[in-house]
Amino acid sequence: MKHMRLIIYFIYGYGISCISATAANQAVICVPIADLVGQPLLSLSSAHQNIEKMYAQQPIVSPAAGKPTTISYRIHQALLGDQVNVLQENTHEVCLSIPSLFYLTSTGQKAHTYWTLKKNIKKISDFPKGQQNRIATAINWSNPDTIKQPDTIILKKPYYIPAIKTTCSLGTRFKVSSYIPKTKIYKVWALKPHSARFLLVDIPENACTCPSNIAVKDQRTAFVDLLRSWTQLGANVPYVWGGSSFIDANDKTSKLPYIRSAGFDCSNMIARATQMVGIPYFYKNSKTALSFLKPVTGKVSVGDIIALPGHVMVISDLIHHKAIEARDYDAGYGKIHEVDLRHVFKDISTYDELISTLKAKTLLTRLKKDGSVQNEKIKVSLLRLPAI
pLDDT for residue 6: 33
What are the backbone angles phi and psi of residue 286, rounded to the nearest 5°? -65, -35
For the chain, which residues score pLDDT lower than 50?
1-24, 64, 249-259
Delimit the domains of the chain by residue range.
Answer: 132-213, 293-387
pLDDT for residue 255: 36
How far, in Å, are 1, 57, 143, 215, 277 from residue 387 at the CA level?
Answer: 34, 38, 14, 11, 11
- What is the 8-class DSSP label of residue 62? S
pLDDT for residue 69: 54
Helices of type H across the chain: 2-14, 51-56, 129-132, 219-231, 266-276, 286-292, 351-359
pLDDT for residue 70: 64
Composition of the chain by helix, strand, coil, percent to 5:
25, 30, 45
What is the rounded distance in angstroms from the CA atom of residue 310 to the CA atom of residue 292?
A: 15
pLDDT for residue 67: 55
pLDDT for residue 47: 58
pLDDT for residue 42: 86
CATH architecture of 132-213: Roll (2.30)
pLDDT for residue 252: 41
Other residues' Cβ atoms within 10 Å of the Cβ of residue 203: 20
pLDDT for residue 62: 64
- Closest listed residue to residue 116, CA positions, set 100, 92, 81: 92
* pLDDT tens digits, 312-360: 999 999 999 999 999 998 899 999 999 999 999 999 999 999 999 999 9
- Closest listed residue to residue 57, CA positions, set 68, 49, 47: 49
- Closest listed residue to residue 26, CA positions, set 117, 115, 127: 127
Burial class (CB in 10 A: 0-12, 13-18, 19+), 48: exposed
